A and B are shown apart, each in its own frame.
Chain A
Amino acid sequence: NAGVTQTPKFRVLKTGQSMTLLCAQDMNHEYMYWYRQDPGMGLRLIHYSVGEGTTAKGEVPDGYNVSRLKKQNFLLGLESAAPSQTSVYFCASRRDSVNYGYTFGSGTRLTVV
């Protein structure tokens, strides 16, 4: 009954460093998403995937890259971290039908100093 698992849960990066956030789901969902949550701004979509091997840009894609090599995993990469990328990152997955809601992970709190 794992659902959506995000690793790591916390990370502190220095400006210019790179890192990868991992999202894994065990529900055989087709669609996966990466959001960032900032105070007063709700959730903003970074990138998403509608199936293995596919990715697409969301609302705020700059500075991020993603890959979906396996159906169950969706990776979010920061090539050169900036303080503006300090945020809480959430991964979510969903079945391939619009009337299903998302299942969210518990989040990754990233601080860039």
Chain B
Amino acid sequence: AQSVTQLGSHVSVSEGALVLLRCNYSSSVPPYLFWYVQYPNQGLQLLLKYTSAATLVKGINGFEAEFKKSETSFHLTKPSAHMSDAAEYFCAVSDTGGFKTIFGAGTRLFVKA
């Protein structure tokens, strides 16, 4: 069965520093992978997605993620953190049948001035 593991429930970075949020997946078929962002008191918003077209995926707000099959990873990065990036981030994988998406537990990003 498909599953997603996000390493670290909380990550804290200084403004201007590199952001790295880790995600590892388990899938019995070629996966479709997603990152979502949730700002306080809002619903989730799609940040980027991997659908096998390219291993390096660029998303909104300067975020990108790289699909590494050998490591079963899909880590999210941003070169320079901004205060407005403070939010919770969810990695997700589509299930085998393609009807449902399985979400990780989330990583809350704190950005220090």
Tally of contacts, chain A with chain B, CB under 8 A: 52
Given A31-B99, A42-B105, A50-B99: A102 and B94 interface contact (C-beta under 8 Å):
no
Q: Is B103 an interface residue (CB 8 A)?
A: yes
Q: Is A74 an interface residue (CB 8 A)?
A: no
CB distance from A52 to the nearest CB of B (A): 15
> Which one of A97, A101, A105 contacts B43 once the chains associate, using CB atoms below 8 Å?
A105
Are B34 and A101 touching (Cβ within 8 A)?
yes
Per-residue CB contact flags for chain A residues 7-42 toward chain B (1 = under 8 Å, else 0) read: 000000000000000000000000101010000111
Q: Is A110 an interface residue (CB 8 A)?
A: no
> Which one of A4, A43, A48 contacts B99 once the chains associate, using CB atoms below 8 Å?
A48
**What separation, in Å, do the CA atoms of A97 and B49 have in the docked complex?**
13
Q: Is B55 an interface residue (CB 8 A)?
A: no
Chain B residues closer than 8 Å to A33, beta-carbon distance: 100
Are B100 and A99 touching (Cβ within 8 A)?
no
Chain A residues closer than 8 Å to B90, beta-carbon distance: 42-43
Residues from 24 to 50 in B contacting A, C-beta threshold 8 Å: 32, 34, 36, 41-46, 49
Q: Hey, which bits of chain A sit against chain B, CB under 8 A?
A: 4, 31, 33, 35, 40-43, 45, 48, 50, 56, 58, 90, 92, 97-99, 101-107
Other A-B pairs beyond A103-B46, A107-B42, 15, CB < 8 Å: A35-B103, A40-B9, A41-B105, A42-B106, A43-B44, A48-B99, A50-B99, A90-B44, A97-B98, A101-B34, A101-B46, A101-B49, A102-B46, A104-B45, A106-B43
